Amino acid sequence: MTMPIHPPSWSQGNQVSATARSVSPEHFMTTVKALKLALPSAVIESVSGQVTHLQRQSAYQRIALTEMDELVTDLLHAVGDPLLLVRAYAGLNYQAGFLRKTYLASAFTRRDALVLLCRYFKVNNEGVALALGGEGDACVLSVAAAGRSAAACLQRDAIVYGLTRTLLSLGINEIQHVSLAYTPDAQVQQDYRTLFPVKVLFDGPGQAQIHIGQGSLDLPLGWPSCSVEQIARRERHLMRLNPEPEWCDSVMALLPLLCRQGDVDIDQCAALLAVSRRTLQRNVQREGAAFRGLIERARKQQAQRYLLQGYSLDAVAALLGYRQSAQFYRAFRQWFGCSPTHYRSAQLSQSAINS
């Protein structure tokens, strides 16, 4: 089985109300499969009516979060185990070989993978919000539940567990600890510490947090990139969930992959977002930008990163979608007022001084 990070398959015309929080059919089905393996068959049978109803519903629309909560609540009453979802999620597949087939493979660095998780997690489950913060030596991935019910907290903790396993498979090994927002009895605390692969602390802030060392986050992920269509599917679903889509952000999410493919034009981007060229252009302009300006911004950001990772100048030019290296050199001088070689040397020297 797999950690539920697949893009949902529901159609735009059959989604639940935009004001109602929901989970994707894939998230629901994967969770049910995990529960079936983790719980006695008699317990699963006791909720079979609910499961069958929701399975039928998932064929044509997202599942309302309230219905997911009801199912988890009934299972909690039947089993009495506050870790039932964590135990179920422990049986999912977090291996790097699986994650390489997901949208996470589009990340250039491990930090990028964290950013992608935060951006797209609501496509799977709107009951939990991820946010990345922190400074200095620690990066903090916060995991906040939309509600305060027992079911909401169970789902949040299971997701924290799944995220922890996912980060380890991404090569993010400097997880300092997980902080949970309450203090259960001693036996439950011990069970948490037995199940989680990292240190667990209790009585934290009002949301769960994963504390991560900064040391290796900016190293390349080193995976072959996924197709731009995988990211585009996520963006299309995200736009359906948001009452006011952020068009520039969606374009910026696609541009690094399009640049690497050497196929950077507004028609391709519009097709990936399933809108007309005119619609995309109009909405980007409404946000105070121009498509050409977004391309320049994306190339400038990526150029800095590629140079500091040691790519040759010709390789950087190709990754940015330039047909000739000379085009890249001219653009770089316009952006930074110096050559790529000089920029790299200056940045590496400054890093050596600061370290």
pLDDT digits (tens, 9 = 90+) for 45-88: 999 999 999 999 999 999 999 999 999 999 999 999 999 999 99
CATH number of 244-345: 1.10.10.60
pLDDT digits (tens, 9 = 90+) for 87-115: 999 999 999 999 999 999 999 999 999 99
Could you tell me what percent of the chain has a pLDDT over 70? 94
- CA-CA distance, 347 to 354, in Å (whole number)? 11
Confidence of residue 137 (pLDDT cuts 50, 70, 90): confident
Which residues of the chain does CATH 1.10.10.60 include?
244-345
pLDDT digits (tens, 9 = 90+) for 311-329: 999 999 999 999 999 999 9
- CA-CA distance, 84 to 75, in Å (whole number)? 8
Confidence of residue 3 (pLDDT cuts 50, 70, 90): low
- CA-CA distance, 302 to 14, in Å (whole number)? 38
- CA-CA distance, 194 to 22, in Å (whole number)? 31
Can you state the angle between helices 48-58 and 65-79, rounded to 10 degrees?
Answer: 160
Strand (E) positions, the chain? 22-23, 63-64, 128-133, 138-145, 175-179, 200-201, 208-213
Instruction: Say whether pLDDT at 147 is over 90.
Output: no
User: What is the largest distance, in Å, between two alpha-carbon atoms of the chain?
Assistant: 70
